[in-house]
Structure 1
Amino acid sequence: MLPSTYELYGDADFIFQQDLAPAHTAKSTKTWFNDHGIIVLDWPANSPDLNPIAKRKMKDMRPNNAEELKAAIKASLSSITPQQCHMLIASSMPCRIKAVIDAKGAQTKY
């Protein structure tokens, strides 16, 4: 992870967002982020409403098993350009965040 962040941001500050999988919220993982001075975004668990990129890319896929799902996820995420990512974040995240806050973390139209 660190080489990628240096390549993308250099010495600039950034906030890391993760998916809150159990391994990512383990004490050792939190310690690693802290030891490396990485700020992690406070993010609600299981929040597909706040994941417009993955949701949009996966909407028409119908995998039949776990292996097909993994392959579909890898293919869809690897096809996202940085420009697409920035555009999606800028265009829909403010509305998504407001909807999640208004719904107190419950499901939204997104």
Structure 2
Amino acid sequence: MQDNARPHAARCIDDYQSEVRITKLEWPVRSPDLNPIEHVWDMPKRRIRSTPNPPETIGQLKTALVAAWDELPQVDIKNTIHSMPDRMQTVIRARGGNTRY
């Protein structure tokens, strides 16, 4: 399964998947991303962006990212996972359209 992002739809990717007999699930374009990990990955990004002195080099960014990831409160991750029923209901009500998630 993959979204229909341009890098996933490249001919060389399609050719390789056919060659090794990987069957893809059909997936609508611009479908809502309900995978909780996408929202968890956003947490360190938001934390880093909110710092008064954001990283200026790749090395600083790596250090800041590891620190932000290590400092993620487990309760925030659990809350994201536990919000899935509400998220799914919101998507159903929106008929697959945009939501606040």
TM-score normalised to structure 2 length:
0.46
Larger CA Rg, structure 1 vs 2: 2
TM-score normalised to structure 1 length:
0.43
Structure of higher RCO (CA pairs closer than 8 Å, 6+ residues apart): 2
